[in-house]
Structure 1
Amino acid sequence: MRRSRRTFPLTALALSLAAAPALAERNLMPSLERSSDVCPDRPEEPLWLQEIPLRQVYHRVLVQDIYRAQNLERVVETGSCDCATRFPSWDAAEAVFRERYASDERWEMLQASEGYNRRANAARPAAEAICEAAGNW
């Protein structure tokens, strides 16, 4: 008996600590509204990308990767991180996709995405420094 009395408080403590994160998670409500502290008036992603069939989601990923690489490189090239430079319309990324990749096979698009990710990652440190100085990171 003595032993069970001592383990009860420890068991209760362990259970309450285990339940705490679950209770905290219940209070977090995901928002479907898009909002950002940096450049809140960003252009919306084109509707055709938002509605793309699941089997073709790699098209959307490629356009997003092109957009990200173009924008980070533009920030570095111009030395400016105003909202129009960092988050322009999607037109240029869409044009590159349609001209170069729209008829490619899935594996070719995935390979192109890797290339755009490398470009974006190479430009990111310099772009981040420029944008942090402008308060836009």
Structure 2
Amino acid sequence: MMRVVATAGLLVALCPTAGVAERNLVPTLDNQPDVCPDQPPEPQWMQDIDVRESHKRLLIQQIYRAQSMQRIVEAQSCECPTRYPSWAAAERVYVERFASSEYWDIVEATSAYRHQANELRREAMPICEAAGNW
């Protein structure tokens, strides 16, 4: 009985605190990256892509990510221009290889590029951490 009373008292004491803390959270629309603040934005057409075509955007993002990790590993450097170049190379790969692909082919390619990026990430992460860009 004493445990029930103590638990109830604790809940009464903490609930108003949680409500106040939640009200103090202010959402921000500032999407400033933690590293390399001059990262190039995604091309506008990618941001405007129809939700039914969002799988294409995900593929381009994974191509870009895999290319980024590959450049870091090859250069053994994680300077911002190496890690975050323009989107042109990723767009080119998408247009040349996948622009006319069917949905499931794009999903499969996205998974392959994600896997490639994750494998390269293991090598790229220590390089970027040493440069303060992770």
TM-score, with normalisation over the residues of structure 2?
Answer: 0.90
Could you say what secondary structure the match of 1:75 adopts?
helix
Amino acid at match of 1:80: S
Could you say what secondary structure the match of 2:124 adopts?
helix
The alignment yields a C-alpha RMSD, in angstroms, of 1.9
Alpha-carbon distance in 2 for matches of 1:68, 1:123: 10
Structure 1 outlier segments of 4+, above 3 Å: 18-23
Q: Percent identity?
A: 48
Q: Deviations over 1:100-123 (max 9, x none)?
A: 001101100000000001100110
2:27 to 26, 30, 34: 30
Amino acid at match of 1:61: L
1:89 to 86, 95, 106: 86
Quote how far apart the aligned CAs of 1:18 are: 4.0
Q: Which runs of 5+ in 2 are unaligned?
A: none
Alpha-carbon distance in 1 for matches of 2:110, 2:83: 20
User: Does structure 1 residue 53 correspond to structure 2 residue 50?
Assistant: yes
Alpha-carbon distance in 2 for matches of 1:117, 1:22: 39
Q: How many residues align?
A: 133
2:95 to 93, 98, 107: 98
Quote how far apart the aligned CAs of 1:36 are: 1.7
Alpha-carbon distance in 1 for matches of 2:82, 2:16: 46
State the match for 1:126 in structure 2: 123
TM-score, with normalisation over the residues of structure 1?
Answer: 0.88
Q: Which runs of 5+ in 1 are unaligned?
A: none
Structure possessing the higher radius of gyration over alpha carbons: 1
Quote how far apart the aligned CAs of 1:32 are: 1.5
43-52 or 30-39, which moves further after superposition? 30-39
Amino acid at match of 1:53: D
Alpha-carbon distance in 2 for matches of 1:116, 1:89: 18
